Each structure stands twice: as C-alpha cells, then as structure tokens.
Structure 1
Amino acid sequence: MTTRFLMNETEPGAYAAMLGLEKYLATTGIAPLHHELIRIRASQINGCAFCVNKHSIDALNSGETTQRLLLLPVWRESPQFTEEERIILAMTEEITLISEKGLTDETYEKALATFGLNGTAQLIMAVNIINAWDRIGITTRRIPGQ
C-alpha cells in the first residue's frame, strides 16, 4: 500500500479548513484524554490505521495507560472507564455508526445531564471532526507512522 497523496500538499485550503476545526476543538472544555479516546475509538470503528496509530501515541504521551487503550474496543465490559467516558464512548460509537441508529435519545439525554448543552454540542463536533479526518486518511491511504 502506498499513500495516494497528502491532502495538505494537494489541497492546502481544504487541509487548512480542517485544521481550523481542530483549533476550535482546542478551545472547548473537552479534556485532552477524552478527546483522544474519541479520536481512537472512532478511528478503530472506521478502520483508519493512520489515525489509530497517531492518536494512540498522542494519548500515551498525554498520560493514558496502555491497559485502557487495549481495552478501548471493549469499554462496555471494562470497569477502567468512568461514567463520563462511557457516555463519550457511546456518543462516539452512535455518531460514527450513524446509519445504524444514530445518537440515541438515551445517550443524548445522559450527555445533556452530564455535560450540558454546550458540552454535548462540543462532543458531537469532536466526533464528527475525527470522522472527517478518518475519511481523508482512508481514501488517501495514509500509512501509519508517516
């Protein structure tokens, strides 16, 4: 497998727009480790090896444990994740797998009760942004570690 092209070189304006969304995310109240959990879990579901690799390294460098990263695909069966993280991961999966059922009312209501309206909106944006990055990474065949 070889990379087809690098979006930042071929379409720098589009890439800059995506980076603008990342700058927005940096202004939100989403904890850095929670943001990495969103990125990794969505990328696992989407099958973006480049993003799983990149964000797993970022999470480890930010203090995440290897055990929790290994358990991320089975978070429902793992007591290592907090209730807040469980809501975030449920949102991530439901939004990423939008064609299955989308963000359920139950998960949405839990998010509102825990994070408020603005926090819930920020989490929805975070999930949507990594899904866009995954689609770029997969379609351009980004290679992990490059």
Structure 2
Amino acid sequence: MKVRINHQKANPEVYRTMLKLEQFIKSSGLDPVLYELIKIRASQINGCAFCLDMHTTDLRKMGESERRINLISVWRETTFFTDKEKAALELTEAVTLISQGGVTDALYDKVRSHYDESEYATLIMAINTINNWNRIAISTGMFPGCFDQE
C-alpha cells in the first residue's frame, strides 16, 4: 500500500485549518471520551481504517475498556453506554449519513434532552470535523501505519 499524497506536505494550510477545528472542539468543553466515541463511530461508518486505528488507540490510552471500544458499532444493543452517549452516537450516525434521512425532529429532541444549544452546535462541529478527517484520509490513501516509515 502507498499513500497517494501526504496532505500535510502538499498543502500545509489544509492541515492547519483542520487542526484549528480540532483545537476549537478540544477547548469547547466537550468530553474527550465522548469525542473519541464520535470519531470512532463516524470512522466505522465511513470505512476509514487510518482514523479507526488512531482513535481506538487514543481511547485505550485514555483508559477506556476494550469492551466499550469493541461495541461502539452496536451501541444500541448494549448497556455499556449512557443515554447521553447514545444520543450523541445516534446524532453521529444521522449527520454522517445525512442523505439517508437527516436529523429528525425526534432525534433533535432526544439529543437536546441531554445537551443545550451550544453543546448541540459543538456536537455537530465535532461530527463534521471527523467526517472531514475521514474524507481526507480516504481520498489521499492513508492507512494505519502509513507515516511510520517517514
């Protein structure tokens, strides 16, 4: 396997812009574990191996259990996620797959029962940011370990 281009080198401003989004989210007060759950679920849906590898590794380093990490894709069928986390994961799926039905009023109400307006806006930005990262990684041919030799 070979990376098509290294986007960081090809256009550093693209990378810096994405990092600014990451900094915004990290400074927003969004729970870091929840942000990793969002990143993993979107990356599963999008089929981004590079991001899945990165974010499951990051979540492990944060002390998350293997059980929860292994069951993110089937969060509906477990009791290992809080209702608040489940609302964010459901929103992640709806936004990532926006053309398949969008964010219904029922889902919006469910999410808003756990998050205020500002937090809702941050969740949307977090979901869009990982979707952007996924699209960059997939489009440029990134894969787990692709930069280990550089």
1-side partners of 2:140 and 2:25: how far apart? 24
Partner amino acid for 1:91?
L
Of 111-120 and 123-132, deviating more is 111-120
Specify the alignment match of 2:123 in structure 1. 123
5+ residue gaps in structure 2?
A: none
Partner amino acid for 1:107?
L
Specify the alignment match of 1:21 in structure 2. 21
5+ residue gaps in structure 1?
A: none
Partner amino acid for 1:50?
F
Specify the alignment match of 1:52 in structure 2. 52
For residues 50-94 of structure 1, what are the alpha-carbon distances to aligned partners after superposition, in whole Å with 9 as ceiling and x for unaligned? 000000000000111110111111110011110001001000000
Of 83-92 and 107-116, deviating more is 107-116
1:10-89 to structure 2, matched below 5 A, reads: 10-89=10-89
2-side partners of 1:72 and 1:27: how far apart? 25
Report the alpha carbon displacement of residue 113 of structure 1 after superposing the two structures with TM: 2.1
The answer to whether residue 124 in structure 2 is matched with residue 137 in structure 1 is no
Of 106-115 and 89-98, deviating more is 106-115
Report the alpha carbon displacement of residue 29 of structure 1 after superposing the two structures with TM: 1.9
1-side partners of 2:118 and 2:107: how far apart? 15
Please tell me the root mean square deviation across aligned C-alpha atoms, in Å.
Answer: 0.8
**What stretches of structure 1 move > 2 A for 4+ residues in a row?**
none
1:83-122 to structure 2, matched below 5 A, reads: 83-122=83-122
Q: What is the total number of aligned residue pairs between the two structures? A: 146
TM-score by length of 1: 0.97
TM-score by length of 2: 0.95
Partner amino acid for 1:31?
D
1-side partners of 2:110 and 2:63: how far apart? 27
For residues 95-141 of structure 1, what are the alpha-carbon distances to aligned partners after superposition, in whole Å with 9 as ceiling and x for unaligned? 00011011121111122221100000000000000000000000101
1-side partners of 2:114 and 2:76: how far apart? 18
Partner amino acid for 2:83?
E
- 3-state SS of paired residue (2:108): helix
